[in-house]
Structure 1
Amino acid sequence: MEERTATLPGGTAMPLLGFGTWRLKGDDAYRAVLHTLEAGYRHLDTAQLYGNEESVGRALADSGISRQEVFLTTKFAQHHPGKEHATLSRSLERLGVEQVDLWLMHYPLKDPGEHLAVWDAFLDAAEEGMATAVGVSNHSLAQLDTLTEATGQMPQVNQIRFNPALYDPRLVTGHRARNTVLEGHSPLRKPGLDHPVLTEIAETHNATSAQVVIAWHLAYQVAVIPRSAHPERISSNLHAARLHLAPADIARIDALSRQPSGTARTRNRQGA
């Protein structure tokens, strides 16, 4: 299976196609992640808030796959600023690993001082080797710049809602200019996999609409983490890495953001 990666500052290779685990719990999360790894995924995304780090870690251990082969992300929920180190230590314990490949601030804090303090703690965690790379989630470009101006360190990844209905070329170019990898969660939610543009392109390529949307992300070098509890869909989504869309296909998908269903994209631009 072809694996496309982004090289983070510092040289870490991050697979662009990963597996999201939001809303997967307990044995469901364990089974889904185990199948994900058996199918060939090498990028897992979880979070403190998801309540499934232990299940993800157990599946990783039981898969028999070397830890070094799997890019592992978790996120910190900033309910208690000042407890970053202890929280990450607990996440590592639940995951059964010595470090994560990527640790993300799950969302920005309203208090600017607290927000910067959390980011400082993230940078310290990277210095201590608890996380190979650190980044953020649900941040706008302006919020990325605020963190960088205060610390001199740009987040290496920003994970936001991103799909054809939310496409904004300024987001893509803005992240690229900052050398920050744009990662999209909720990639398959809008405009809906039954949209005629997606189904027509899928039929042309003998693919599924989900594969088309994932391939569209990859064409822009946007990391993407689709989620499913169904083994057949998990395996099917992985095969999107083999699909290369034509420029005309990409342009048609881009245009979906200019339709009424895509008007919500301004939320990402203003304060995602």
Structure 2
Amino acid sequence: MGGEETKGVADAIDVPHQTEEMGSAEAVRSMGGNTLVKVVIGEKVKEAVPTKEEKCDTQVEPQPQEGVAQIEKEDNDQRFGSQPTVTLNSGRKIPLLGTGTASFPIPPIEDLKNAILDAMEVGYRHFDSAALYQSEEGLGVAIAEALEKGLIKSRDELFITTKLWCNNACPERVLPAIRESLRKLKLEYVDLYLIHFPVRLKEGILDTTCEKDDILPLDMKSTWEAMEEVHKLGLAKSIGVSNFTCKKLTDLLAHAKIPPAVNQVEMHPVWQQKKLRDFCSDKGIHVSAYSPLGAKEWGFDVVLGNALINDIAHAKGKSVAQIALRWGFEQGVSLIPKSFNKGRLKQNFAILDWQLTEEELQKIGTIPQKRIATMPEFIFPDGMFKSPEEFWDGEM
């Protein structure tokens, strides 16, 4: 990352039409945006193709043919159009540009459906949902209408993520929870299913409004085994986590038979997550960035209001949002900003045909860091998590 050649299958970024010839090889932009990873034609490439040991026991994806590098197109590669993708440790591809569906207060289904259809018209194919957001039903209606209208030819053209809410974070409730999500989405499978937080809540708690006694001990080992069963049954093509720290990932990896493919976390220029990204890169876990523009709904404007990012945007003739998103893109993470405004959806999508300079990247690297989503809802002085530092394992 940040200009260094990185490790693991998730670091091989497939960016259509953005390769540079290097004799008998091609160069592909790496995580840092400026480093070139050599992909030799006619040989298997460790950076691009998972090893036998890296593939999980339930992996059913076809093995890459001898002599074909991952950068070359597979039969299903065109389903996301010209979008750049990353290959996860599950062997599946995730588009790097997505859009979120969380909005509070929760919008009417019709409004959500129209916003998703607008995003599809712009070119988005990666949609992030969750049981918490109550957006699964609206997303399902939008997918059905998009198929009917011919905006997409098949469901396979979409990458759909949803999440297990904390009230179902126990082994016996995982399968019923994913099946309920699939019913609302009107889908047979999701592309990615995530544990939303490393927290368990009482069954009746449907949001983050809770008391200290509503927070229960989480049996992560057994809950992850249930997530693995979701994958084995084909209900989720990849499984992963959200809001996990390095420590919690270490604990999970100690017993996981199928490693998490993704860790979805808060990430933007004001909370760059360098330590966590380095850890995930080393373990072959892809990082997906929620709130890559900050989060106004939390009462903060620390990203879009940052003076340095505004200066770079003005000098470059780009929007502040585009600078923040392009920075994240050049770190190799997938981005899931949320907007229900078609103009902003188009603007957020227009970050592929230009780059930040090394000087601009270095300047952004000097921004003082601050986590926005500290999750005070789960913090009680005499509860399970007594401080934000304890909840986030010191990663503040």
Normalised by the size of structure 2, how large is the TM-score? 0.64
1:10 counterpart = 2:90: yes
CA offset digits 1:6-46 (Å, max 9, x no partner): 10113211011100111153222111111011110010000
Task: Write the letter of the residue equivalent to 2:99.
Answer: F
Deviation at 1:73, TM superposition (A): 0.2
The answer to which structure, 1 or 2, has the higher relative contact order (CA under 8 A, 6+ apart) is 1
* Contact kept in structure 2, 1:6 and 1:15, CA below 8 Å: yes
Taking every aligned residue pair, what percent have the same amino acid on both sides? 29
Tell me which residue corresponds to 1:78. Answer: 166
Partners of 1:117 and 1:174 lie apart in 2 by 24
Report which stretch shifted further, 75-84 or 126-135. Answer: 75-84
Tell me which residue corresponds to 1:187. Answer: 292
Task: Write the letter of the residue equivalent to 2:230.
Answer: A
Partners of 1:130 and 1:264 lie apart in 2 by 33
Task: Write the letter of the residue equivalent to 1:109.
Answer: V
Partners of 2:88 and 2:344 lie apart in 1 by 29
CA radius of gyration, larger in: 2
Matches within 5 A, 1:47-66: 47-64=130-147, 65=152, 66=154
Deviation at 1:147, TM superposition (A): 1.1
1:227 counterpart = 2:338: yes
Tell me which residue corresponds to 2:360. Answer: 249
Structure 2 residue aligned with 1:67, among 133, 142, 155? Answer: 155
Matches within 5 A, 1:119-138: 119-138=224-243
Calculate the aligned-residue CA RMSD, in Å: 2.0
Structure 2 gap ranges (5+): 1-80, 201-215, 295-300, 373-387
Structure 1 residue aligned with 2:262, among 132, 154, 157? Answer: 157
1:264 counterpart = 2:375: no
Change (3 A) 1:14 1:22: same
* Contact kept in structure 2, 1:126 and 1:132, CA below 8 Å: yes
* Contact kept in structure 1, 2:327 and 2:356, CA below 8 Å: yes
Residue 371 of structure 2 aligns to a residue in which SS? helix
Task: Write the letter of the residue equivalent to 1:55.
Answer: G
Deviation at 1:113, TM superposition (A): 5.5
Task: Write the letter of the residue equivalent to 2:174.
Answer: E
Report which stretch shifted further, 198-207 or 141-150. Answer: 198-207
CA offset digits 1:132-173 (Å, max 9, x no partner): 000000110111111110123321100111111111322221
Number of equivalent positions: 268
Deviation at 1:247, TM superposition (A): 1.5
Normalised by the size of structure 1, how large is the TM-score? 0.92
Partners of 1:263 and 1:108 lie apart in 2 by 21
Task: Write the letter of the residue equivalent to 2:96.
Answer: L
Residue 240 of structure 1 aligns to a residue in which SS? coil
Structure 1 gap ranges (5+): none
Task: Write the letter of the residue equivalent to 1:62.
Answer: E
Higher share of residues assigned helix? 1
